[in-house]
Chain A
């Protein structure tokens, strides 16, 4: 999500209405008001609506939504006569270039702030941290066309933005804050991308930093836009967003010849959509004319066609319109979600609990009946808690997280008992006796399965208690187990047992080893048990969706 600062005075000037009205309706086009201040508001927009990442874009949308100015915005583009060439050596480095000349710019501090904010938000949303696309805006009057986008030697020098002295491109990557942030995007290459004018003045070092020479200020009247990147669609979209935002601020757009092709093309995209499909998807009864009117509020061009179709013109800045249904969603937004008559369909089906959930519910009932309190410990834990403190060898089925946030969330549990011991540790100052159980998912290898474990801590806890509880639990589960001597090191030798069902080990019980007690800072004996729920009758042979 992107948080955009909207200056009230600028927003009111661009929309022609007051801030109260705007703030009231803004959530209805899909946004969250994050915080309001005296002179501006911070609004969170969705990552698909990059056209709203500037005050100009929000104003354009709101003028439509509020009925002030509807229909498709027009963005005429006239040739600038300026040309740009692209060095073939960039093909493996950063091959795509978008550009435009933007004239008659009148940017006050709020306008510049909006433009810089828009650039950074686009770098995040479309540019993926500038990898796919990076944007530069330059004061055109300080440089002389034609312009070249070339692969330059690493030792090429220029004065980077906000610096006084010349640095080589290599030095910029080491010493400039932006250089350090984005070095990883270019430092593998022999040569670096560079944009220069006819006099060899540097405009920018994409995607790292602009030159100081062409810095945009409140004095700037004409802008040269550069969008460079690794993906042509993203480059084109970024150029469209910047051009249309500045056009909304009163500028005029001129095209640049890039290796002979004029750029940008701000024509709308045409889609022929079905009125009936929209009606059926949204569930509202509107005719073609009504649908067209709603789309005009959302700044589309829209015109009914004879056969129940609509000709929709999608503005060049709507990066999110990929499918006909995206247009239908805008119809619903314009209609107003709260105006849609919500209704349940006549779909009769029978509910059914998943068999694994049935087993877990029954197990829960047995253990609460035996006097145990349920806890719900985390699935992520540490190898220390899961094995080390339990005196057990680490299982080959243990899964480790690639980049854990901390040791405490570094592995996925393969049993539940260690986590119950940890809950006892957390509660060592609470009144005894404490009898706790947990049931839930464990993961061994890549398989998800379920287990149940129970612990009892009090001065008289002993093997007999664990044995009696496991026996009662198995009986209530409908199991006929065989109990044999266990070798599990977590329990005291001679006071531990394994549970065999059909000759296969499915559980363990006993009196917890004092070394384990000490490892968990416990001062009283613990009787404990754990059982694999796959052994319980009713557990499905093929778990997963039924």
Chain B
């Protein structure tokens, strides 16, 4: 019991000679308020050193209107006494209190009204309300009525009696020192050394502390940063680019046919604006129409110069890669982009119209599909996915194409992205003759796996408590 506060000790010392006392008496003995005395008594009671008994009593006082009626009688009583036997309603309504009183007269059955004449019924003994009005006390039947009529006000008086327990007496008998207690050390106490003799308050560890939240980056951003770190460490240069692109760069330069349903594989946000075709577009046109000077037949048909000028919100980050290669034609090139892409999808737990996509490319002499698989194994391995396997895939701009799958305990094989070697129809128009390995994946899918998220929307329209409670250092399951 050494951890009693000073106030608790002082209360016990004051209470011991009294044995028992009211809160007021105890407060007087302690030189404090009744509220404080009761609070400290409760703390002692929690330790079994004191007992606190609470009693409450209701008292009533008359309102000004009530006071008047106690002296002169309730309105209905005054009206009743003002006439003999019967009275016309016309005359009755002339009484000053008729507005209030007539209703009560009828309600109490003191009068009967027929054909415009009110007659006394003879039933007018003093009621419970009149008895209560004379001297209102708790428990009287008529009090409720008077309260409703706002003739009486109710007051609750709470009284506490505090008694010391045998344990409390024993403690006092054993001796309690009443030295002042120190909460926070002051500068003076530190400087003058008085802390040595100060009674330093002790704190309990059984109560959890007040929670504080640090400022911190978004859990999804931390995953994005992890992925970027992997690629930077693998020697990749970061690319960034525009969100608004012409369809030429988003589709046509990547050998996607202008009317092929593959364009629907990426439902597109179109904008009502156009951007002119860039210099060198003729090479892309030739690829689409007949394959130019490559061994390709092209898609055939006539390539429209109107369709690719339409602006879109980028549907993938692959356009950055081809433009980066145009600007950096000398091998070796290793580059990546990680950015938000836009697909015209309604929002549901597993689909959002925006999400983050990663794109990586490697251009070097003598690289091959075998090396692409090597990069994928290395990259996914560093991401924490130990088991990787490969399935044939299809994309309009790569050949061969491959879909990596990773093993996730509890989920089985999960397809995570797509990859391939840029088709010659994509690279030849810009004079690129070195093979280009390329791969991409949706990072939000990775985030769902790593964060244990069931609802993608949480990444973008976040519950702040989810962000607060996501630890910066994640345990790997």
Interface residues of A (CB under 8 A from B): 1, 27-30, 46-49, 124-125, 128, 131-132, 231, 233, 271, 273, 280-284, 322-326, 328-329, 332-333, 337-338, 340-345, 347-354, 356-357, 361, 364, 367-380, 399-403, 405-406, 409, 412, 422-423, 426-427, 430-431, 434-436, 440-441, 443, 446-448, 543-546
- The distance in angstroms between the C-alpha atoms of A441 and B337, with both chains bound, is 14
Q: Are B271 and A283 in contact (CB-based, < 8 A)?
A: no
Contact A544–B332 (Cβ < 8 Å): no
Task: Give the contacting residue for A373; candidates B213, B299, B362; CB below 8 A.
Answer: B213
- Scan B213-251; emit 1 where CB is below 8 A from any A CB, else 0: 111111011000100100111111111111110000000
**In the assembled complex, which residues on chain B have CB atoms less than 8 Å from the CB atom of A338?**
389-390
Q: Which residues of A contact B233 (CB under 8 A)?
A: 351
Residue of A nearest to B373 (CB): A342
Say yes or no: B425 contacts A323, CB within 8 Å: yes
CB of B293 to closest CB in A, whole Å: 12
A177 to B271, CA, bound (A): 33
B164 CB–A CB distance under 8 Å: no
Return A310 CB to nearest CB of chain B, in Å.
Answer: 13
User: B303: CB under 8 A from chain A?
Assistant: no
Q: Which residue of A lies closest to B421 (CB)?
A: A281
Give B contacts to A, CB under 8 Å. Answer: 213-218, 220-221, 225, 228, 231-244, 259-262, 265, 269-273, 275, 291, 294-301, 311, 313, 320, 323-324, 327, 332-335, 339-340, 342, 344-346, 352-354, 362, 364, 366-371, 373-378, 389-394, 399-402, 421, 423-425, 435, 459-465, 467-468
Q: Which of B217, B300, B342 contacts A368 (CB 8 A)?
A: B217
Query: In the complex, A372→B214 CA distance in Å?
Result: 8
Shortest A26–chain B CB gap in Å is 10
Q: Which residues of B contact A271 (CB under 8 A)?
A: 295
Q: Beyond A282-B400, A284-B370, A373-B464, is A401–B269 a contact (Cβ under 8 Å)? A: yes
CB within 8 Å for A443 and B244 given contacts A325-B424, A374-B221, A379-B340: yes
Interface core residue of A357, A371, A426 (most chain B CB under 10 Å): A357
**Chain B residues whose C-beta falls within 8 Å of the C-beta of A367 in the assembled complex:** 215
Does B332 lie within 8 Å of A426, measured CB to CB?
no
Contact A1 B353 (CB under 8 A): no
Q: Is the CB of B301 within 8 A of A325?
A: no
In the complex, chain B residues whose CB is within 8 Å of the CB of A125: 261
Give the residue name and chain of the B residue nearest to A321 (CB): B297
CB distance from B465 to the nearest CB of A (A): 6
Given A441-B243, A441-B340, A448-B243, CB of A347 within 8 Å of CB of B332: yes
Can you list 14 A-B pairs with a CB-CB distance of less than 8 A?
A: A325-B424, A329-B392, A329-B399, A342-B376, A343-B370, A349-B237, A361-B225, A364-B221, A374-B216, A378-B352, A380-B342, A400-B272, A426-B461, A545-B241
* Tally of A-B Cβ pairs under 8 angstroms: 271
**What's the least CB distance linking B382 to chain A, in Å?**
12
Contact of A399 among B232, B271, B295 (CB under 8 A): B271
- Pairwise interchain contact B215-A233, C-beta atoms closer than 8 A: no
With A324-B295, A361-B225, A401-B271 known, 18 other A-B pairs at CB within 8 A are: A47-B261, A124-B261, A132-B259, A322-B296, A323-B294, A323-B399, A328-B400, A333-B392, A348-B235, A351-B231, A368-B215, A373-B215, A373-B468, A374-B217, A401-B313, A403-B344, A448-B241, A544-B240
Complex Cα distance A352/B342, Å?
26
Closest to A406 in B: B346
Closest to A443 in B: B243
Contact among A369, A377, A402 with B460 in the assembled complex (CB-CB below 8 Å): A377
Q: Are B294 and A405 in contact (CB under 8 A)?
A: no
A378 to B462 CA separation, bound complex (whole angstroms): 11
Given the interface pairs A46-B394, A379-B243, the reply to whether A371 lies near B332 with Cβ below 8 Å is: no
Most A CB within 10 A of own CB, among B220, B238, B374, B468? B238
Give A446 to B374 CA distance when docked, in angstroms.
Answer: 38
Min CB gap B75→A, angstroms: 47
Q: A343-B370, A353-B232 are known contacts. Are A371 and B215 too (CB-CB below 8 A)? A: yes
State whether A430 touches B463 (Cβ < 8 A).
yes
A352 engages B238 (CB within 8 Å): yes
A345 touches B371 (CB 8 A): yes
In the complex, what's the smallest C-beta–C-beta distance from A197 to chain B, in angstroms? Answer: 32
Inter-chain contacts of B342 with A (CB < 8 A): 379-380
Interface residue from A1, A282, A448, A545 paired with B369 (Cβ < 8 Å): A282
Contacts of B300 in A (CB 8 A): 231, 233
Chain A nearest Cβ from B234, distance in angstroms: 7
- Complex Cα distance, B389 from A446, in Å, reads 41
Does the CB pair B460–A376 fall under 8 Å? yes
Pair B394/A448 contact, Cβ less than 8 Å = no
From residue A429, how far is it (CB to closest CB) to chain B in Å?
10
